[in-house]
Amino acid sequence: MFLDATMKYNKKLIETAIGLHQQGLITPNTYVLDLDMVKHNAEVLFKEAKKQDIELLFMTKQIGRNELVSKAIVEAGIKKTVAVDPWEAITLYRYGIKIGHVGHLVQIPKQMIRTILQLDPEHVTVFSYENARNISEIALQMGKRQKIFLRIADPDNYIFNGQKGGFTVAQLAQDMDNLMKLAGVEIAGLTSFPCVMIEEDTPEVTPNVLSIQKAKEMLTKKGFKNLEMNMPSATSTASLKLLKENGATQGEPGHALTGTTPLHASGEFPEKPAMVYVTEVSHLYNHHAYVFGGGFYPRSRMKGALVGTDIRNIKRVPVIENDPTNIDYYGTLETDDVNIGDTAIYAFRTQVFVTNAHIAIVGNLNSKPELLGIYDSTGNIIRD
């Protein structure tokens, strides 16, 4: 999906990735990430967000909760992170990153609440009164009052399978008085997901935004002021003005940091491609070539791969996407005109943390390329 943009705007990343693989410095099933380009992307995002008066919380699940990359993003100006699940929060806290939001997509299990509150997250999202009550009880035992976001999810909202849950506006109206009685939590804002979708190469708000606006109106009538309006999904320089116009106070860039939102396939945006997937031709069979897998992603929308042993001899070949019901032991190239051992380079949307891939961080690509470290998909260092 992003091969053309990467070839045009970050050809050195492809050249470096091929070289690392052919030298045996990285294995197949490795994402190679350009640290300097991620930092550039974070800088342009931070600048535009400041212009729109929107706070950014950066997301790391797409890049495998990586420490080097997280610290580079902080250096670029985005000081806080969002952890979509409690395990990500624990990892990022270990790096010394300020946790701005946790529980965004995955609720905090009851027996982990104390552990997460000890990380001093600025905000925690809750899907229900019961979850808020559990957090309140633990917070009071710890002598603190935890700020929470209420996740809004009306029946007509757009919600991905596997991510459903939250307050309907009607349910919130029923629960509001009881929520306000919880002494250990403070209702600090509202959130939903996704609040922005890319439609025909244009960012558009979803019906979720209208729902959280209705919820805000309800809370305002109850006396709440200065509520945060957290509106994640597809946060990029192209969508921040739209978010501001719809009342957002926070955005949560993830794919924009690697230049891999659907908008970025054109390459015509300030954020540029920063990541490729590297693997190797394993075998030929029935007029197809098969490459080692483990890091493919069902929603990748990949169309092609570059195959060869050097930037000067690579060629583009079409790919056949894997059936998501099967394990991706291999990926398939729609050709047999390649050689076993060739490097295969892909550029697609991914979520590294749900793969078993490695992630190699590289820097200084325009002067003296350097391999800065190799990590697993959840941020543990393999080799520095």
Domain of 377, CATH number, reads 2.40.37.30
Mark whether 29 and 100 lie in a shared domain. Answer: no
Q: Residue 153 and residue 169: Cα distance in Å, rounded? A: 8
Mark whether 192 and 117 lie in a shared domain. Answer: yes
Confidence of residue 265 (pLDDT cuts 50, 70, 90): confident
Q: Residue 221 and residue 195: Cα distance in Å, rounded? A: 23
Q: Is 267 helix (H, G, I), strand (E, B) or coil?
A: coil
Q: Is 224 helix (H, G, I), strand (E, B) or coil?
A: coil
Does some domain include residue 183? yes
Q: Which of 252, 287, 318 marks a domain boundary?
A: 252
Nearest to 119 by CA among 84, 82, 94: 94
Q: Residue 1: pLDDT above 80?
A: no
Query: What is the total count of domains within the chain?
Result: 2
- Please give the pLDDT value at position 104: 83
Name the pairing type of β-strands 358-363 and 370-375.
antiparallel
Nearest to 108 by CA among 94, 95, 121: 121
Residue at token pair 């996704």: 194
The range of the structural domain enclosing residue 299 comes to 3-34+268-383
Mark whether 236 and 372 lie in a shared domain. Answer: no
Mark whether 92 and 224 lie in a shared domain. Answer: yes
- For residues 328-338, give the mean pLDDT: 97
- For residues 126-135, give the mean pLDDT: 98
Task: Rounding to the nearest 10 degrees, give the CA dihedral for residues 57, 62, 64, 70.
Answer: -30
Asked if residue 234 lies in contact with residue 203, where contact means CB atoms within 8 angstroms, the answer is yes
Mark whether 169 and 221 lie in a shared domain. Answer: yes
Does some domain include residue 74? no
Contact partners, residue 2, CB within 8 Å, separation at least 6:
259, 260, 264, 265, 273, 347, 348, 349
Nearest to 232 by CA among 144, 295, 309, 149: 149
- Please give the pLDDT value at position 320: 94
Q: Residues 30-65: pLDDT tens digits?
A: 999 999 999 999 999 999 999 999 999 999 999 999
Mark whether 208 and 336 lie in a shared domain. Answer: no
Can you list the pairs that 301-304 forms with residues at least 24 positions away whose Cβ atoms lie under 8 Å? 301/1, 301/262, 301/348, 301/349, 302/1, 302/346, 302/347, 302/348, 303/1, 303/3, 304/3
Nearest to 6 by CA among 263, 266, 201: 266
Q: What is the CATH number of the domain that holds 105?
A: 3.20.20.10
Average pLDDT value for the chain: 96
Mark whether 229 and 284 lie in a shared domain. Answer: no
- Please give the pLDDT value at position 295: 96
Does some domain include residue 42? no
Asked if residue 29 lies in contact with residue 279, where contact means CB atoms within 8 angstroms, the answer is yes
Mark whether 248 and 150 lie in a shared domain. Answer: yes
Mark whether 102 and 200 lie in a shared domain. Answer: yes
- Please give the pLDDT value at position 199: 84
Task: Rounding to the nearest 10 degrees, give the CA dihedral for residues 227, 233, 234, 237.
Answer: 20
Q: Residue 215: pLDDT above 90?
A: yes
- Please give the pLDDT value at position 334: 97
Mark whether 223 and 308 lie in a shared domain. Answer: no
Residue at token pair 């670029």: 76
Q: Which of 252, 285, 317 marks a domain boundary?
A: 252
Q: Residue 308 and residue 17: Cα distance in Å, rounded? A: 12
Q: Residues 244-260: pLDDT tens digits?
A: 999 999 999 999 999 99
Does 303 or 82 have the greater pLDDT score?
Answer: 82
Q: Residue 266: pLDDT above 90?
A: no
Confidence of residue 201 (pLDDT cuts 50, 70, 90): confident
